[in-house]
Chain A
Amino acid sequence: MADINITIVDREDVAHEIVVPTDMGLNLMELCKANELPVEGTCGGMALCSTCHVYVQTEHTLNEMTDDEEDMLDQAFFVEDNSRLGCQIPIEESLDGLVVKLAPTSN
């Protein structure tokens, strides 16, 4: 399986281009943490905390949201139409070229 490129724009608008392996079962939250980007992933990836909230800035077709993810985004702040939880987006080859921006943190 080939590596892909994903760009993560941090909260200071700095773009981080990351070469990502697709054979490690990573999700987007784990990818951010592994690259020491400021994503807490407090709940460990259960769609229960929204600390990995991102805005998807490209037209990629992503996996559908589960009820858990929608429930959590219902309680999150700064939610937009392109909001997703990073922990619910598995890294796949089809995500090559994906650009996401980290959502602001809240109290």
Chain B
Amino acid sequence: MANVNYFTKSFMIETDIIIIGAGPCGLFTVFEAGLIKLRCHLIDTLPIPGGQCAEIYPKKPIYDIPGYPEVLAGELIDNLMKQIEPFKPGFTLGERAENIIKEEDGRFCVITNLGTKHVAPIICIAGGLGCFEPRKPPIENITSFEQRGVEYIIKDPAIYKDKKVVVAGGGDSALDWSIFLTDIAKEVSLVHRRTEFRGALDSVEKVNKLHVEGKIQLLTESEVIGLNGNGKLQSVLIKQKDGNITKDTDHFIPLFGLSPKLGPIAEWGLNIDKNAIEVDTFDYSTNVPGIYAIGDVNTYPGKLKLILCGFHEATLMVQSAYKRINPDKKLTLKYTTVNGVNGFD
């Protein structure tokens, strides 16, 4: 657990290093920081630690982690979590780091989209390719119907009670949510561009069964190409082989997976080049003193987007962070073989 202080108005999390992004580089930073007695707190938009490795390709083997001839991305994350356990990092998961404010005492305050405050003298941005956000279909006026009938994520299934719902997509989430919504909504339609669904076999069979029973309307070889309504979604325009049809609906839920966006990171006054943060390779510091960037999110001459390079960057970065926090202390390199790993109580 990170140090938690309760202030008069709202509580905030205090630590030595706020790490934005809980992918492999962010996680390993906790280890290297812990060895020199710095505490860390990680923030990630995803509900689980591991970043892309956990969310996008947990079952893919990685072959270039030194010492591992082959390791699954998900296993690497499990191992990193075990490796950093002694240093008891804090986690704010499922929240997006939104704003950075400089406190009067020189520390930074990182506030998430849900208002959680984190205060530390050092920020380490290990944000990878950015935040994973739902992929939005290229329908011209889709943004104007967001929160007015268009949802990319189902947060509160109760809002669909007795409503007409159109789900789009052909993967597991489109199938699973369509099945789930049949018990709640008045009418469920599933729109898919192709004839076959590529989700898990039992989900596909279940959808077909519900279709036969008249509980799900299946519109295959179809694509939602337009939205209509007056301040609120009223119908969708669906392109089919033989022409377009209009379908009345209260909700449109496009489920086309996630894609990374740099997001708020671009608004923090850091020097950005082609969606990456420019850093000094001496210590991976950004143009803002006290803010560092490591892993896929940074760029410098010769940069390679490899996990192993991110581990190296994390290691050098925490040394610099230590000197910033403790300008009068001398740091000597200690080997884990000699000193072991002494965690926090």
The segment from A4-12, A38-46, A56-64, A84-92 that touches chain B is A38-46
**Across-interface contacts of A77 in B (CB, < 8 A):** 135, 137-138, 256
- In the complex, the chain B residue whose C-beta lies closest to that of A67 is B198
- Give the segment of A13-21, A22-30, A68-76, A93-101 that binds chain B: A68-76
Closest approach, in angstroms, between the C-beta of A6 and any C-beta of chain B? 24
Chain B stretch 135-193: residues in CB contact (< 8 A) with chain A: 135-138, 169-171, 193
Mostly helix, strand, loop or mixed at chain B's interface?
loop
B259–A74 CB distance below 8 A: no
Contact B138 A106 (CB under 8 A): yes
Chain B residues positioned under 8 Å from A70 (CB to CB) = 198
Residues in B36-65 with C-beta less than 8 Å from chain A = 52, 56-57, 60
How many residues on chain B are close to A (CB under 8 Å)?
20
The contact of A78 among B138, B171, B256, by CB within 8 Å, is B138
In the assembled complex, the Cα of A71 lies from the Cα of B257 at a distance in Å of 11
Residue of B52, B257, B260 with highest tally of chain A CB at under 10 A: B257
Residues in B neighbouring A48, C-beta threshold 8 A = 56-57
Determine if A49 is an interface residue (Cβ-Cβ < 8 Å). yes
| A45 → B minimal CB distance (Å) | 11
Check if B22 is an interface residue, CB within 8 A of chain A. no
Binding site for B on A (CB under 8 A): 42-44, 46, 48-49, 67, 70-71, 74-79, 104, 106-107
Whether the pair A106, B135 counts as a contact (CB closer than 8 A) is: yes
Give A70 Cβ to nearest chain B Cβ, in Å: 7
Known interface pairs A71-B198, A74-B198; A42-B260 also in contact (CB < 8 Å)? yes
Cβ–Cβ < 8 Å partners of A44 in chain B = 305
- The reply to whether B305 and A75 form a contact with Cβ atoms under 8 Å apart is no
B129 at the interface (CB under 8 A from A): yes
For B130, give the chain A residue with the smallest CB separation.
Answer: A42
- Point out the residues of chain B lying under 8 angstroms from A107, CB to CB: 135-136, 138
Knowing A74-B194, A75-B169, A75-B256, the reply to whether A43 touches B56 (Cβ < 8 A) is: yes
Complex Cα gap A4–B259 (Å):
33
A55 to B172, CA, bound (A): 26
